[in-house]
Amino acid sequence: MNRKISRFLVDILLYGFLIVISLYMILPFVWMISSSLKPESEIFSIPPVLISKNMTLSAYTTVIVDGNILRILLNTFIVAASATIARLFFCSLGGFGFAKYKFIGKGPLFGILVATLVVPFSVTLIPLFVIMARLKWTNTFLPLIIPGAASAFGIFFMRQYISTINSELLDSARIDGAGEFTIFWRIIVPIVTPGMTSLGLIFFMGSWNDFLWPLVILKKPDLFTLPIAINQMIQSMIGRPVYSQQMAAAVISIIPLLIIFLVFQRRFVEGITAGAVKG
């Protein structure tokens, strides 16, 4: 009985702690949504008011109509979706090569690939920009999609996942006359779909929230992605900030990510846990 009581008390403390941490993490998002619906005069009112009696959608109307937010959302989705598809294809292909093929220098090459994970992007930013400028790719979406298509993290992730697949299955397909790409596309991809879904969500969110590289590459307002557009809006308000509009833009920027995560949440968890168990 004492053991059950002790276990019950431990569970209460544990869940209480988790609830407090969850509320701490959720509070900024709740405040952001609340501020986006308040009149400007009430955002910093004392005492603070979470739910205003004068709720308004004027900030959203201004951001959508005057801020051309729908066009910016489309730009961001095109870049994020294209970059994610390209990365999933090349990373799974590279992971397949490292997991199931033997070739000279495989170990050192994979070691170098993993070592690049510790190199900060700021080190390669200028050389990469020079290459993009010489290719005349600046002010296009190509630099946001192609250079990152072969992600070291993605190749490492897929290599670990594909390594768990029984090689005898691939040998049987070869005996039946299947080519290497057919084996990859018809056998490997369906098996590792949960892992690709998890990796795809990580890539999509990273591309959606990317700020520095698009800021360097894109100068035309018609090509701006959400992080740049929100930054430009904040910069234009220096000296006269309209916080309700800033919060409204931030809310709009996270809605697509929230929807995508909720749709693929089960597959995301399956992919991560399956990779952890199999690895």
118: CATH = 1.10.3720.10
Domain with 32 in it = 1-56
Task: Identify whether the C-beta of residue 137 lies closer than 8 Å to the C-beta of residue 143.
Answer: yes
Count of C-beta atoms within a 10 Å radius of residue 207: 23
Mean pLDDT of 9-37: 89
In this prediction, residue 272 has a pLDDT band, given cuts at 50, 70 and 90, of: low
233-241, long-range: CB < 8 A, 24+ apart: 233/63, 233/67
Residues 6+ apart with CB under 8 A from 88: 154, 196, 199, 200, 203
Residue from 152, 173, 2, 197 nearest 100 by CA: 173
CA distance 276 to 279: 5
pLDDT for 271? 63
- pLDDT tens readout for residues 183-228: 999 999 999 998 899 899 999 999 999 999 999 999 998 999 999 9
Q: 267 or 91: whose pLDDT is higher?
A: 91
Mean pLDDT of 23-35: 89
Total of domains in the chain? 2
% of the chain exceeding 70 in pLDDT: 94
**129/25 same-domain check:** no
**76/189 same-domain check:** yes
**80/38 same-domain check:** no
Last residue of a domain, one of 16, 37, 56: 56
Q: What are phi and psi of 105, to 5 degrees?
A: 80, 10
Count of C-beta atoms within a 10 Å radius of residue 12: 10
Last residue of a domain, one of 25, 40, 56: 56
pLDDT for 279? 44
Mean pLDDT of 83-100: 95
Q: What are phi and psi of 20, to 5 degrees?
A: -60, -45
Q: What is the DSSP letter of 239?
A: T
Determine the residue type at 115: A
Task: Identify whether the C-beta of residue 245 lies closer than 8 Å to the C-beta of residue 59.
Answer: yes
56: alpha, beta or left? (left if phi > 0; alpha if psi -120 to 50):
beta
Task: Identify whether the C-beta of residue 125 lies closer than 8 Å to the C-beta of residue 160.
Answer: no
Looking from the CA of 206 toward its CB, the CA atoms found within 13 Å total: 18
pLDDT for 239? 65
Mean pLDDT of 103-120: 92
CA–CA–CA angle 191, 205, 123 (5° rounding): 105
**74/157 same-domain check:** yes
Last residue of a domain, one of 12, 36, 56: 56
Residue from 153, 279, 263, 133 nearest 206 by CA: 153
% of the chain exceeding 90 in pLDDT: 49
**130/264 same-domain check:** yes
Q: What is the DSSP letter of 240?
A: S
**23/138 same-domain check:** no
**89/197 same-domain check:** yes
Residue from 219, 278, 252, 212 nearest 69 by CA: 252
pLDDT for 19? 93
**23/110 same-domain check:** no
| Burial status of residue 144 (CB atoms within 10 A of its CB: 0-12, 13-18, 19 or more) | buried
**128/93 same-domain check:** yes
Residue 277 has which token pair?
A: 């168990």
**120/251 same-domain check:** yes
**For the chain, how many helices (H) and strands (E)?**
14, 0
